[in-house]
Amino acid sequence: MSTIEIRGGVELPALREDIELHTSDGLTLVGELALPVSAAPVATLVMLHPLPTGGGFMDSHIIRKAAARLPALADLAVLRFNFRGVRSPRGTSQGEFGHGILEARDLAAAMAFVAGRGLPHPWLVGWSFGTEVTLKYGLEYPIDGAILLSPPLKRTTDEELAAWAGSGKRLVAIVPELDDYLRPDEARQRFASVPEAELVAVDGGKHLWVGENQTSRVLNEIVGRVNPAASPLPVNWQD
Residues 34-84: tens digit of each pLDDT: 999 999 999 999 999 999 999 999 999 999 999 999 999 999 999 999 999
Residue at 79: amino acid letter: L
End-to-end Cα distance, the chain: 6
Binned at pLDDT 50, 70 and 90, residue 2 comes out as confident
Number of domains in the chain: 1
Residue at 94: amino acid letter: Q
> Could you tell me the CATH number of the domain that includes residue 224?
3.40.50.1820
Q: Is the pLDDT of residue 228 over 90?
A: yes
Calpha distance 128→176 (Å, rounded): 11
Residues 135-160: tens digit of each pLDDT: 999 999 999 999 999 999 999 999 99
Decide if 236 contacts 3 (C-beta within 8 A).
yes
Residue-number span of the structural domain to which 113 is assigned? 3-238
Whole-model pTM: value is 0.98
